[in-house]
Each structure stands twice: as C-alpha cells, then as structure tokens.
Structure 1
Amino acid sequence: MNNLITYQRTLIGKEVELGFLYVPAEARTELPNENAELNVLLPNAKATNGHSYNSDHNRIFGLTSFYRGNNLIAGSIIEVEVSQEQIKIKLNNIEPVLEDDEEEEDENFIDMSGLSSQMKGNIGEDWAKEIILLYSQGLLNVYKPVIDDRGIDREAIHTHLFTSKNPF
C-alpha cells in the first residue's frame, strides 16, 4: 500500500549551501532503506528528475541549482510530498503550519548550521562538563586529556583519590 506523506520543511544554511534536502523520520518510511536514485518533481518541471538519496544521512542530493534558481536561503519554507513513486517539492504561497501549543519562532534563534561537527562536539562536551561539575558539588573534577590516544574526550576524576594521604 502506497502512502502519501506531506510535510513542511524550513531549510537550514548547510542544505542550501551544499544542495541537499534532509528527510525527517516520518517521511523515511516511504523511502528505500539503502542508497538509491529517487524521482523528484520540482516546481515548474514537467517531468521528474533522478536525484541520489543517501539512506545513512537521510538526504536527497542534487538540489543546488534548484535552490539558487528559486533564490531559496536558510529559513525558506518548502512543502514536500513523499511517496514510493516520487518526491514532489512545492514553493507556492507556503505559510508555516503552527501546532496548537507551538508559539511563534523565537527572535533569538541561533542558526548553528555554519558550525563544523567538531565545533558542535566541543560545545556538547563543555555542556556535559558543566553539568558534571554542577551536580557533583565539587566531588568530581573534569579535564580534557592533553593526548587523546584512547579516544576519550572527557574524564571525570573523583577528587578524593588525589589527597596528600593517597600515594597516587
């Protein structure tokens, strides 16, 4: 049985820059479980075009010229219809759909799409370090190893192990 899944997507900077479209979990049920060529129908096109789909990263590639040709930028909203036969992208008069309890987008939204994976990892590690320090109330100390030869990003050491009475 073929289902049609429709959703709206607000594009992020990396999607526009690199020319891909991320496919959310609810739409992946209609897509193959392995890398494949998908039929994509773009606005004002008379026929579908083949676009590569990466199932590991859930991305449809080859949309750079479409984004540029339609002056799409980070924050642009597109509507996507996903079925087993094709992916259809729409642009005309799209208004964001708000959930009943969802409020308007916060003006202080931080676009992290320009950050590298390493930068995002460092932010996450620092956040985890602060949580460990806060909740341990001084019983744990967190440091980053100078040499990372074991693949360990952060280590928490119980400070009572390093007292003058302990020979270590």
Structure 2
Amino acid sequence: MKSEDQIKYDFFVKAPGKCTSSELVDFHSLVQIGGKVPLKNLPTRIQSCVLLAFCYLNKKPIGISAIKKPSRTYKEKIILKAGIDRIPNALDFEIGYSVTLSDFRKKGISSMLKTMLLEDMQQVKGTIFSTTAIESSKHFLKTNGFIKLGKPYDGEYDKGICYYELSLGDGT
C-alpha cells in the first residue's frame, strides 16, 4: 500500500463545454453520491456552471466542485432563509457541488479544488457566495476571505447552514 505522500491525485478545472462526456457523467455521479442537491434537471444545471473542478485517482473520480450560476429563484430562497440584505442580481456566482468520496476526506482535496476554482475566477468581477453546514468548508471560506452574513438556517439536506460571500475582481 502506498503511503499518503506517494499518492498522485490528478486535479484539473474545465468549463463544462470543454469536458468530455465521461467527465460530465463522473461529475453527475459524484453529485448524486453527495446526496445534498435535488436531482431534477441536474445535467442542465451542471452544463450551466462556469467551471467544473475534478480530482481523479487512478482514473477514478474522487472529488468535485464547481462555480455555479445560480438561478434567480434559488438566490431568492437563499436570501430569505439566511436573512441577508441582498438582491438576487447582486449574487453572480456560487461555489457548490463540492463532494469528496468518504474514503478520501480530510486530505485537502475539496480545499484544493475550491482553491483552483477561485484562482481561475481572479479576473472576474462579481460576488461569489457559498452555503455550507460543514465545518471544514466554513474554515476554508473564512481563510479565503469570504465573510459570513445572515443567520444559520436549516435546509432540506442539512441543519445549521451558513451563508458566506466574497467580492471578486475588486483587489481584495
């Protein structure tokens, strides 16, 4: 068995239109495994993302994340639940669909995927947000300049979800 420092993960980021059909199937499969988003229209929602991030090990997907372009109705729901003073048009992007297979958690995979996504968004202007109930994700967001706003709320899949946001392209 290989020691942890000998394992070679393959990380990459692509726009959905540049992904192979098998990469899109892999992404969809991991979102399903994560079990935290409605599956209705999922392929269309994945295709509408700005960027998809992948981590493979031995040609098998073990982690994903994305920069999403959330719908107006979704943003309205988040604004209401989190009790934040925002208009939906002011929220441009969302970090989401972050899933790491359970055998590979606590190895920095999700943090690496989200870091790569944020690096690819450096030249973009707008507001990016993320909602999470996972402590390690909250830590990542705070460490990377996101500000917690509003109040925690319970969702369909998690309790104690917190809203975080970051302004992109303003030099901060």
Measured against the shorter chain, the TM-score band is: under 0.3
Kindly name which structure, 1 or 2, has the bigger radius of gyration based on alpha carbons: 1
The structure where strand makes up a greater share of residues is: 2
Say which structure is richer in helix: 2
Give the alignment's TM-score, normalised by structure 2. 0.22
When normalised by structure 1's length, the TM-score is 0.23
